[in-house]
Structures are given as structure tokens and as C-alpha cells.
Amino acid sequence: MKKQIIEKIYRVVVYLRLSSDDGDCQESDSISNQRILIYDYLNEKPEFSVVKECVDDGFTGTNFSRPGFQEMMKLIEDGEADCIIVKDLSRFGRDFSGVLQYVERILPKMGVRLILVNDNYDSIFPNRDFLTLRLKSFINDIYPADTSKSVRANLYAKMIHGQCVAPFAAYGFLKSPEDKHKLIIDPVAGAVVQDIFHLKLKGHSLNEIADILNVRGILPPLVYKRVYLKQDLHTGFKLNSNSKWEATMVRRILLDERYTGVLIQGKRTTPNHKVKKVIQKSEDEWVRCENTIEPLVSTHVYKVVQHLMKHDTRKSLNGLALLSGLVECADCHQSMIRKSPNRTNFYYICSTSLYEKECQPHSFSEKKLIEIVKDSILYYISLMVELDKTLQYVKTISLPESKMYAADQQMKVLEEECARLLDIKKKLYDSYCEGLLDEEEFIAFKKKYNETLKQTEDTIKRQRTEISNMLSTLEKHQEWMRHFLIYKDANEIDRIMVATLVKRILVHSGKRISIEFWYSDEYERVVSLLHMVNNIQPGYPLTSFFDVKGGIKDAQNK
């Protein structure tokens, strides 16, 4: 048998790639199968000498920032290899323009031979089919784009149905062993989260909370997940050889609404499957699913904490103040500072008048203020007790719906407003016809009043629905009343009680105090409904409640 004359020995780099991001999930595309196919091709081909095998396992082909690919090109640039063998064009890359740039320009310029085994392509032969190669490259580029679109659609469908698609659960939660898309409470970290919210309610600053957690020896979130949960992950939390709790970690937890039982996903995205730059979405684009997780804190506690974080709750030399972060100047609405001339008697002073001299100087004794707040809170709680009894009575009586509509004073005001807006619209048209308004003015005014009219009509519609479902409406209102009723037997006040019931304490320049309680709007709506019921069917519990209620303004304004 005549021996084959070998004119040149090619130094070969075997390139293998696989990525689930591109939809490369077929068995034939596995790294081991690619290797077998290429070495079968090389069998009995003495003109090839393999110098290196470069592998990119888990790297997308939509770009060339792959360690294996970069290693291969470095070998070629250094003159250690002059031939690349790949299973097919899709393994080389899936970026249409980038692949053709390498195949038709870069590699030929460098004198490198390219062999695509399954595509029956060898760059050394002059009769190679460039049109087919371009078509295959184009198809390979479309494939990951289509896969990416399908994956995104699938993830979005899971998110809107309340399924967690994140690879790891947030601190305080665990992935359910039965269903990886469901979150359950982590008993260890969950208790820490609850402690953090409780400490904030007590008036501690973020730094103080971090110090308390460090003294207790509690592991910070990332360390806890790595050490206790054995998770290998990276987050925004800082990690070093002496990792401890910091104010930023505490802040992230206190701002995270997921602890109220709301699953929030889809905060970030990328422009497309090729560009991996992370884009932060606006809040209205987030996917929110209520009541999909067991809450660690109530919605009310979360709202109170968000309110407190906007105010000064720093600890003084005498420790935490009972009213810390709640006292505001009624004129400039800035937090008032707690000061003492002798470290015995404390006063709240307007910070704006003290430092910037832009507000009237006024102060108030802390001791007197605490007495006023105490009396007001205890009185307000007693009013809630009476309100609860009154609502229980209302549930027992039957009221005609038509009479309720007629008796609702707020409904009457809204209907009068609707009639007024319709009359204005008619006069606008008359003015336009008479030439008093030009077309541009008419359109602008018409748009403005149409929007106002629609808002008023929507409010009337909601009001009618509320009246039609009055019992369920009253049940809903009783939910927020529970935050007050749990203190019905209290004779004294403490920090947690004050923070969860009082939203702000306003100090006026004339030594007058006004107190704004949480859920004051909801309270007024319930009272409005009870006035309507009392107008239709007066009864002792209702009249008794309104007699007691008469003192509420005195309690709120002292």
C-alpha cells in the first residue's frame, strides 16, 4: 500500500463549548459527545497534532468573552497552534456578525485553518460554500434569541402566579423542600428579622441595631447563608475576614417589603440575551404578589418603621427617648430636637429655628408633652373600644340600601360636585361657540374638567360599592382597629405603644399640641358611615358613641 505523503503537520486546538443559556440541552451537544466526535474525526489523520483542548462549559456563545475561547486565541497569537477544530459553527459562536468576522477575516488573516466537523466545512478547500455558512451562522444567532424570549416569558408567567424564581431565598426565608418555587420562614434568620424591626420600633438607630446584633454574636446575612445554610453565593452584603453587621445591612432589611408577605420580583433585567448589563426597573414595573409568603412582620409595623426611618431617632446621653422621632414643628414640619440645659429637664426645640433661624423659636417641655400624649392615647383607645361595640350593634340591624344612599352626606357632596362640573362643561361649549374661547383653550379646559369629572364619578362608584357592601366594609375597618384594641386594658404607655399608634406629634408656636394617630382617614370614614346609619335608624349605641366622640378633638388638640 502506498504511503500518504504529509506536506504539513497542523498544530490543532480542539474547542468544545456548551451553555444552557443558548438552549444547548440536547445530549448530542454535551462536552463529552463533542470530544468523542472530534477525536473520531482526527483518528487516522496523521497530519493533525493536538496541542491543546480548550473548553467553555456553561458559557454563552452570544459573545466571545469566554475563558476557553480567549485561551485558544492566545495560543494562535503566540504561534503555538494554526488549526481549530470544532463540532459545528454553533459551538464556535452564536453571534452572527462576530462569527463571520472570525471565519472570513480574522482567522484567514492569521493563516489559521478552521474545521467544522458536522458542517462539513474546511477553510483550506477553495470550493467551500460561504452562502450556506452565512445562513447557518444567522440561524445560530436567532436560536438563542428565541430561547431567551421563551425563558423570559416562562419566568414572567411564574412570577405573576406567585412562584419564586430566584435561585436563593431572601434572608429570613428558605425554599420549601416540597416546592422550590415556594418560600417558607427560616426559624433562625426569621427571628433575627423580627428583632430588627422590634428594635427600630423601640427607637434604636441603624448603627445601634447593628451593634446590638454583633454583641449578641449573630452572623450577618451572607456569612449565615454560607456557614449555616451551606450556600455558595454572592450578594451586595459586605464580606471580609471579620464580617459583622453594619447599618447598610440593617437598612436593607427594614426597607424590604417582602417581610410583610409580598413576593416582589422582576426588579432587574438585561437589554437582551447578548448584552449582560443589568438594568434596574422602575417600581411600577416590578411583579408584586400579595399574600404568597407567610409574613414575618405586619403591614402596619412595616409602615410605622418606614415612617420612623425618615426621622431622627438618635439616642441621647440619657438613653432612648419615649417620643423619639415623632415630635415635629407644626410650622416648618421638621423634627424637633430634644435638648436639656441641665441634663435633668428636657425640652423639644424646633431644629430649623435653632440652626437656620428660618422658623419661629418655640419649645415644649418633654415631661408635659409625655403627659399630654399619654392622656390622648388612652382616651383614643377608649374611643376605639366604644367604636368596636357600636360596629357590633350595626351588624345586627337591617337598613334599606336606597335610604343609605340618601343619608350619605359625602355622597351628596360628590353628586353636587358632578352636577357643578357638568354645568361648567356646558358653559365652556357655549363660550367656545360665542368665540369667547379659541379652540386650543377650549380643548385644554375640556380635558382638565373631564379628568376631574371622571375622578369624582369613580369616587361615587366606590362609595356606592362601599355602602352596598357596608358590613364587609366595616369588617375591613375593624382590622386596623385591632392595633388600638390590644391596648384596651393599658393604664400606662411605652415606646412600642406610642410608635405603633401615634404617627406624629405637632408642636405649634402657641404652645398648642396636636396629635395625628395612625389610620385617622380610616377612622373618619367609619364615623361617616355611622352618621349615615344614625340618620336612618337612630339607636342608643350610636348616640352614645357620638357623645363619647365629642371629646376626641380635645384629645388630639391640647
Task: Specify whether the CB–CB gap between 166 and 180 falls below 8 A.
Answer: no
Lowest-confidence range among 36-40, 44-48, 149-153?
149-153
Reported as a single tens digit per residue, the pLDDT across 265-317 is 888 877 765 666 788 888 888 889 998 899 999 999 999 999 998 876 666 55
pLDDT of residue 16: 94
Select the more confidently predicted residue: 280 or 236.
280
Q: Are strands 347-350 and 336-339 parallel, antiparallel or unpaired?
A: antiparallel
pLDDT interval class at 165 (50, 70, 90): confident
The pTM of this model reads 0.67
pLDDT of residue 246: 94
- Give the CA-trace dihedral at 189, 192, 197, 203, to 10 degrees: -160
Q: Which residue in this structure is represented by grid cell 451572607? A: 222
pLDDT interval class at 233 (50, 70, 90): low
pLDDT of residue 363: 84
pLDDT interval class at 82 (50, 70, 90): very high
Select the more confidently predicted residue: 227 or 196.
196
pLDDT interval class at 21 (50, 70, 90): low
Lowest-confidence range among 79-93, 115-129, 431-445, 470-484?
470-484
d(CA 330, CA 104): 75
pLDDT interval class at 171 (50, 70, 90): very high
In this structure, the number of other CB atoms found within 10 A of the CB of residue 550 comes to 9
Of 341, 339, 340, 307, the closest CA to residue 325 belongs to 307
What is the arithmetic mean of pLDDT over 20-35?
Answer: 67
CB-based contacts of 34, cutoff 8 Å, min separation 6: 16, 17, 18, 87, 91
pLDDT of residue 48: 93
Q: Are strands 10-18 and 363-365 parallel, antiparallel or unpaired?
A: unpaired
Lowest-confidence range among 24-33, 40-49, 375-384?
24-33
pLDDT of residue 89: 87
pLDDT interval class at 475 (50, 70, 90): low
pLDDT of residue 24: 54
pLDDT of residue 558: 56
What is the arithmetic mean of pLDDT over 252-261?
Answer: 94
Lowest-confidence range among 2-16, 52-66, 393-407?
393-407
Count of alpha carbons within 13 angstroms of residue 546, beta-carbon side: 15
Please calculate the CA angle 171-176-180 and round it to the nearest 5 degrees: 95
pLDDT of residue 7: 76
pLDDT of residue 78: 93
Task: Specify whether the CB–CB gap between 447 and 454 falls below 8 A.
Answer: no
What is the arithmetic mean of pLDDT over 81-101?
Answer: 89
**Average pLDDT across the chain, whole number:** 82
Please calculate the CA angle 112-113-119 and round it to the nearest 5 degrees: 140
pLDDT of residue 325: 85
Quote the percentage of the chain above a pLDDT of 90.
34
pLDDT of residue 107: 92
pLDDT of residue 500: 95
CA-based radius of gyration for the chain: 36
Of 539, 543, 535, 537, the closest CA to residue 406 belongs to 535
Residue 41: C-alpha distances to residues 28, 38, 93, 212 (Å): 16, 5, 21, 66
CB-based contacts of 259, cutoff 8 Å, min separation 6: 172, 193, 197, 253, 295, 296, 297, 302
Reported as a single tens digit per residue, the pLDDT across 425-455 is 888 888 878 787 788 888 888 888 888 888 8
pLDDT of residue 451: 85
Inform me whether the pLDDT recorded for 47 exceeds 80. yes
Quote the percentage of the chain above a pLDDT of 70.
79
Select the more confidently predicted residue: 435 or 171.
171
Residue 177: C-alpha distances to residues 171, 183, 184, 231, 312 (Å): 17, 9, 9, 15, 43
pLDDT of residue 370: 94
What is the arithmetic mean of pLDDT over 94-106?
Answer: 86
Count of alpha carbons within 13 angstroms of residue 413, beta-carbon side: 6
pLDDT of residue 145: 63
Select the more confidently predicted residue: 452 or 550.
452
Reported as a single tens digit per residue, the pLDDT across 338-370 is 888 887 889 888 877 666 667 877 789 999 999
d(CA 389, CA 201): 30
pLDDT of residue 1: 41
